C-alpha cells in the first residue's frame, strides 16, 4: 500500500507535538486518526504569533513511525473526567522526514491559493480545518503541499533534538467495544468507522471487490469529508483506480454512511445528499460511478423498521442504487456483515 498524505490540525499544541514526536486525539475523534498508517506522510496546521497577530502555518513534512496506539500519559492536557490521564490518549508517533527536513513552515495562505486554483478539493473552507483533527488528502494534494514546503526549504536541515515521546509504550487499541447483551452495538460510531478503516479489505469487499485488489488497482480512502452547506460529513469515501496504458484512471467510488445503531429510513435521504457532494468534491468522480452503501447494526426483532428501510431503498431505486449491510457480533466476538436482503 502506497503512502498517503494527511493534514493534522491543532492551533495551540504544535510545539508540544514537535517536542514529543506525537499527535493525539480524544476517544470520540478516534476515527479521524484511524486512517493514518505507519510510513504515511503528515503535515501539521497550527497557529503562531506574528507581531500582534496570530496567523496560520503548515509544518512538515513528517513521517509516521508507528501505527495507531493508546497511551494516556499526560503531555497536552489532563482529562477533567479522569485524573492523571491525557485528554488525547489515542496517538501516533512521527518525526521530521529525514530524506529532506524542512524546519521552516509555510503560511496557510499558500494552501488557500492552491484551493482557489482548484488544486485542493478535500478541504472546502476554513471550517473544515477548525472542525477536524485530521484531514486525509488526495495524493495529488499531498504532493503539492510537499512541493511548497520544499520550495520554502530548498536545503535539507538537520533536526537534532530527541523526541521525548518516542519511548512511550504503544498499547494496541481495541476497536471492538460494544454495549448490549443479546444484540450488541458499538459504544460509539467512531469505533465502527475506525474498525473499517483499519480493515480496508472489508471496505473493498462491500464495494464489490470480493477477491481483493491486484497490482493493477489502487485506492484512496477518505473519511469525515466535510460537505459544507449540506451539513455533516461523509463517513468514508473509497476511490478506486485501475492502471490502463500506464495511466491510473478512476473507475469507481464507494460512499459509506455508517450508523452504530439500526439504519433509520431517513438515512437513505442523507446518503443521497452525500452522493451529490462526492461528485463535486473529488476530482474524476462522476455520479454514475458512485456506489452507495449504508451500514448499521442488525435489526434483531425490529422487522417493521427493517421492512420500512427496504421500501424506502426500493422507492429511490430508479434514480439511486443503494446497498445496505448490517453488522452483528459472533459468539467468538468477531464482526460479521450481512446484506439487508439476506
Query: Which tens digit of pLDDT belongs to each residue from 251-300?
Result: 888 989 999 998 888 888 878 777 776 766 676 677 778 888 999 999 88
Residue 164, in any domain of the structure: no
pLDDT for position 305: 86
Residue 320 has pLDDT above 90, yes or no: no
Residue 233, in any domain of the structure: yes
pLDDT for position 103: 95
pLDDT for position 212: 75
Taking alpha carbons only, the member of 261, 253, 258 closest to residue 295 is: 258
pLDDT for position 1: 59
Taking alpha carbons only, the member of 280, 267, 272, 285 closest to residue 321 is: 272
The domain spanning residue 305 has which CATH number? Answer: 3.40.1350.10
The domain spanning residue 148 has which CATH number? Answer: 3.10.590.10
**Average model confidence (pLDDT) for the chain?**
88
pLDDT for position 128: 65
Give Cβ neighbours of residue 19 (< 8 Å, ≥ 6 apart): 161, 163, 164, 165
Do 42 and 78 reside in the same domain of the chain? yes
Residue 163, in any domain of the structure: no
Do 206 and 276 reside in the same domain of the chain? yes
Do 206 and 305 reside in the same domain of the chain? yes
Residue 332, in any domain of the structure: yes
Show the domain range for 313. 178-339
Number of compact structural domains in the chain: 2
Q: What percent of the chain has pLDDT over 90?
A: 50
User: pLDDT for 182-238, tens place per residue?
Assistant: 888 999 999 999 999 999 999 999 998 877 788 888 888 988 887 765 567 888 999
Examine the fold and report which residue of 107, 136, 152 is the final residue of a domain before the chain moves on: 152
Question: Residue written as cell 496560520?
Answer: 56
| Of 31-35, 121-125, 175-179, 205-209, the least confident | 121-125
Taking alpha carbons only, the member of 90, 82, 94 closest to residue 164 is: 94
pLDDT for position 252: 87
The larger pLDDT score, comparing residue 149 to residue 129, is at 149
pLDDT for position 231: 60
Cα 232 → chain centroid: 14
Residue 168, in any domain of the structure: no
Provide mean pLDDT across the span 146-160: 93
User: pLDDT for 57-116, tens place per residue?
Assistant: 999 999 999 999 999 999 999 998 889 999 999 999 999 999 999 999 999 888 888 877
Do 19 and 137 reside in the same domain of the chain? yes
Amino acid at each position: 500500500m502506497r503512502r498517503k498524505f494527511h493534514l493534522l490540525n491543532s492551533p495551540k499544541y504544535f510545539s508540544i507535538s514537535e517536542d514529543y514526536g506525537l499527535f493525539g486525539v480524544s476517544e470520540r475523534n478516534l476515527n479521524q486518526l484511524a486512517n493514518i498508517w505507519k510510513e504515511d506522510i503528515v503535515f501539521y496546521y497550527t497557529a503562531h504569533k506574528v507581531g500582534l497577530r496570530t496567523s496560520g502555518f503548515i509544518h512538515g513534512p513528517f513521517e509516521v513511525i508507528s501505527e495507531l496506539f493508546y497511551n494516556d500519559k499526560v503531555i497536552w492536557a489532563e482529562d477533567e473526567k479522569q485524573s492523571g490521564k491525557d485528554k488525547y490518549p489515542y496517538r501516533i508517533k512521527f518525526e521530521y522526514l529525514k530524506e529532506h527536513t524542512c524546519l521552516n513552515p509555510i503560511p496557510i495562505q499558500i494552501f488557500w491559493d492552491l484551493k482557489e486554483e482548484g488544486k485542493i478539493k478535500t478541504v472546502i473552507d476554513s471550517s473544515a480545518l477548525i472542525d477536524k483533527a485530521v484531514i486525509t488528502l488526495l495524493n495529488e494534494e499531498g504532493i503539492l503541499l510537499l512541493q511548497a514546503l520544499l520550495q520554502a526549504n530548498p536545503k535539507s536541515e538537520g533536526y537534532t533534538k530527541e523526541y521525548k515521546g518516542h519511548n512511550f509504550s504503544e498499547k494496541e487499541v481495541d476497536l471492538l467495544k460494544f454495549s448490549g447483551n443479546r444484540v450488541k452495538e458499538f459504544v460509539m460510531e467512531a469505533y465502527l468507522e475506525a474498525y473499517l478503516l483499519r480493515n480496508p479489505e472489508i471496505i473493498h469487499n462491500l464495494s464489490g471487490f470480493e477477491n481483493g485488489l491486484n497490482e493493477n488497482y489502487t485506492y484512496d480512502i477518505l473519511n469525515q469529508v466535510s460537505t459544507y452547506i449540506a451539513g455533516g460529513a461523509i463517513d468514508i469515501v473509497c476511490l478506486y483506480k485501475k492502471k490502463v496504458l500506464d495511466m491510473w484512471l478512476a473507475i469507481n467510488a464507494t460512499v459509506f454512511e455508517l450508523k452504530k445503531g439500526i439504519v433509520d429510513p431517513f438515512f437513505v435521504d442523507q446518503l443521497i445528499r452525500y452522493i451529490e457532494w462526492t461528485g463535486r468534491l473529488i476530482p474524476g468522480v462522476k455520479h454514475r460511478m458512485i456506489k452507495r452503501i449504508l451500514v448499521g447494526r442488525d435489526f434483531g426483532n425490529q422487522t417493521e423498521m427493517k421492512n420500512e428501510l427496504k421500501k424506502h431503498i426500493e422507492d429511490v431505486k430508479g434514480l439511486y442504487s443503494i446497498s445496505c449491510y448490517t453488522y452483528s457480533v459472533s459468539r467468538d466476538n468477531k464482526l460479521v456483515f450481512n446484506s439487508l436482503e439476506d
